[in-house]
A = this chain, B = another copy of it.
Amino acid sequence: MIGAWATALLGVAAGHAATRSGARIAAIGNGRAVPACSTCHGPSGAGNAVLGSPRLAGLPAAYLEAQLQAFARGRRANAVMQPIARALSARETEAVSTFYSREPDTAAAANVGIEATTINLGEQLANRGRWAQELPACVQCHGRGGLGGGANFPPLARQPSSYLQAQLHAWQSGMRDPGPMGLMAAIARRLSETDVQAVAVYFSAGAPTRANMPLSRVSIPPPDVGAVSPPGPQRIFSPPPESTIPPDEFGEVVRRGRDIFDDPARNAAAYVGNRLRCSNCHLDSGRKANSSPMWAAYVAYPAYRAKNRHVNTFAERLQGCFTYSMNGKAPPLGDPVLVALESYAYWLATGAPIGPNLTGRGYPKPLRPPVPADYIRGQRVYGQYCALCHGVEGGGQDAADGSMAFPALWGDASFNWGAGMGDIGNAAAFIQANMPLSQAGSLSDQDAWDVATFMDSHDRPQDPRFSGSVESTRAQFHDSPDSMYGRQVAGRVLGESSPASGGRLSPKPAE
């Protein structure tokens, strides 16, 4: 014990020493080829918009260190930073990264003269993306408000617009390493020059929301999600642009529904037992074809469901999501939460023909894999494509502000055993059609089945229909080769030690 104490204390002392040495480098350089970082990045690391130097203060140390290494090894091309990074020792690199990560972030939001069209486009790309091009919202990975999250997703908010533009250009031209899975290079290449400017300006201004926009800006109409999407290649239904939600009592309920859809933990906390979002499985806030879009679901109910062996209205179908996917308690029929969600789905379906067979409904079924799905192969796929966002342990990942950035795929914080994603075929279909974000369709059928099998071979909250024994619950509700419930994996029977289902989020401090 004393040994451990001593090691810990030494670690703290070493950390302090590193910070001190980092502070010196930042202020005066390392006495060799490295000049003071503050020359370009400002005395407190707040960045310099004119020079295009990014804010460093408050960024994750691991991220900063990785960037210095990338400069040193030529994976980020930059005439100024490459020689500097090479001239830093490994210890100095760590020290200066640690120093800046602990500096308070005092960068102000740029208050540039932003044209309404620019901020509209920027807000849209930042917060909603452009799914017709498989462009997810920036905040989907970089966290709400672009505040960043973890070592892999740096903050974007209040970085100089010039810096953000330069990075997007660098990815477009191959001057910067394409990043994990080539995500950022691929995304940058789908952006037009107007897009690049708009999104950079938007984040440099602090990613304003309607609530915190300067008064002169609040008259800006909401982003026109849908309107700028090019028409799909096939005759796939397009939900109306968000700007056409009517400015009346009905529109208010529609907007409430959309807000619940995007963040039920915040806006329907009484009925959810995890922090998943409806939009985790129904991408683009329920708009995206082949991602179980809400417009296709709305026109498909009432319908008979084998799952509960009777005709379900749309409202009852929504209840099912709360019970299973959200691992919560279903709102009673008529509850404002259900009415708002139903109104939102109805509004999304404006103009869609009533009927169960709208093109783009659900997820396209992937072919059964060439060889039987396999846990070990799935684990490999997971490590390669999924762990970056969902975490090695499948627990998801939070953004810097504590809000959920990536959903938990198994464990206590995930959907329970009764959810549709617990069906391997369904999960494989979703994954194949939509994952990884921005690279939909890139996994082979085999990969999709393997990784779905891996995901669904972990424990998760109990099936709310649990009948007393895993065996009888499997017989009643999981009598399909696509369910791992009740199956033995790594010596444990799945479902036998599942935590109770039907939780309710404990109140969180206001975010």
Contacts and interface: CB of A to CB of B under 8 A. Distances in A.
A121 to B, nearest CB: 28
B248 A339 contact: no
A342 B313 contact: yes
A342 B343 CA distance: 16
Nearest to A248: B304
B302 A253 contact: yes
Contacts of A334: 313, 315-316, 333
Interface in A260-298: 298
A367 interface: no
Contacts of A354: 298-299, 346, 349-354
Contacts of A299: 354
A339 B313 contact: yes
Q: How large is the interface on A (under 10, 10 to 19, 20 to 34, 35 or more residues)?
A: 20 to 34
Contact of A315 (B313, B351, B353): B313
A57 B353 CA distance: 54
A104 B333 CA distance: 54
List the number of copies, as a whole number: 2
B310 A249 contact: yes
Contact of A250 (B249, B311, B352, B353): B311
A265 to B, nearest CB: 23
A295 to B, nearest CB: 8
A303 B342 CA distance: 11
Contacts of A351: 353-355
A353 B352 contact: yes
Given A313-B339, A333-B315, A339-B313, A249 B346 contact: no
A439 to B, nearest CB: 32
Contacts of A339: 302, 311, 313
B253 A343 contact: no
A30 B207 CA distance: 103
A346 B302 contact: yes
Contacts of A346: 301-302, 354
Contacts of A355: 350-351
Contact of A249 (B253, B298, B311, B313): B311
Interface string A325-350: 00000001110000100110010011
Contacts of A298: 354
Interface in A1-30: none
A313 B335 CA distance: 11
Given A313-B315, A334-B316, A334-B333, A302 B343 contact: yes
A180 B346 CA distance: 47
Interface centre among A311, A315, A316, A355 (most CB of B within 10 A): A311
A249 B311 CA distance: 7
9 contacts: A250-B302, A250-B304, A253-B302, A315-B334, A349-B354, A350-B354, A351-B354, A351-B355, A352-B353
Given A250-B311, A253-B302, A313-B334, 14 more contacts: A248-B304, A249-B310, A250-B302, A250-B303, A253-B311, A302-B339, A313-B342, A315-B333, A333-B334, A350-B353, A351-B355, A352-B353, A352-B354, A353-B353
